[in-house]
Structure 1
Amino acid sequence: MIVHMLRFDFKDGTTEEQKARVLGLMRRTASVESVSFATVGQSLIGPGDGFSHAYCVAIEDLEALERYMHDPVHLEGDDEILPHLARIAIGPDASDDMDTELDAKIMALHEKKTALCPDWAARLEPLLAAGA
């Protein structure tokens, strides 16, 4: 099982309605067939972390992760979600798969997606730079 977490903040000026819409879209993404279980809501890591919200999905294996990354629901959701986010931090992620190359394999899938979806990557990159 691969457990993937995002921590994020909304942009200043995002209304409560817009926040609810974004969280709803994230919950829709987290319900695609490749996700085993998920939670979307407030971040409980602590005030020093600086992120208000979190998104966490558990995905069975690398094949399911690749399906998740390219699922049309995920891609379409990001079109509406990303414009409302100020910054995103990826992780900490975890897995019960003890393959020492798992992190590199996951990164290769991410790099494949960025090559196939350069517009998506261009919208995501500034958010990661601000939050990482």
Structure 2
Amino acid sequence: MIVHMLRFAFKETATEEDRERVLAAMRRTASVESVAFSTVGHSLDTDGGYTHAYCVAIPDLPALRRYMHDPVHLAGDPQILPYLARIAIGPDLSDDPTPGLADRILALHEEKVALYPQWGAELAPLLAA
């Protein structure tokens, strides 16, 4: 199982309605067939100013690839990213002892950035914020 975590903070300009729409879009993404379980909501650890968190558990690398390219996920990101001030990816974790698993996961991310450069360009400044 691969457990993928995001911590994030909304832009100050995001209204309560915007925030609810973003969380609803995240919950739709977290409900795709490749996800075993998920949770989306307030972060209990606000270190670094992150106020919310997103967590999905995905059974294996093939399921992770499906998750990353699922039409629901692809459609959700443009509804989510414009409202975020910053995002932290991880820490992720896994019970899979396969050597190099982290590198394989990173390669899937890099593959997605190559296929969807606009998505990568929208995500990059949020990671550096």
Please indicate the TM-score interval, normalised by the length of the shorter structure.
Answer: over 0.9
Answering whether residue 29 of structure 2 is matched by residue 35 of structure 1, we say: no
Correspondence 1:1-132 to 2 at 5 A: 1-45=1-45, 47-130=46-129
Residue by residue over 1:75-114, the C-alpha shift from the partner in whole angstroms, topping out at 9 and shown as x without a partner, is 1100110000000000110000011200000001011000
State the shift of 1:13 in Å: 1.5
Runs of 4+ with >6 A deviation: none
Matched residue type, 1:37: F
2:109 alignment partner AA: H
Q: Give the drift of 1:50.
A: 1.5
TM-score by length of 2: 0.98
The RMSD of aligned alpha carbons is: 0.7
Q: Secondary structure at the match of 2:96?
A: coil
Q: What secondary structure sits across from 2:49 in the alignment?
A: coil
How far, CA to CA, are the matches of 1:119 and 1:14 in structure 2?
Answer: 22
Deviation at 1:48, TM superposition (A): 2.9
CA distance in 1, matches of 2:124, 2:51: 20
Number of equivalences: 129
> Which runs of 5 or more structure 1 residues have no equivalent in the other structure?
none
Q: Percent identity?
A: 68
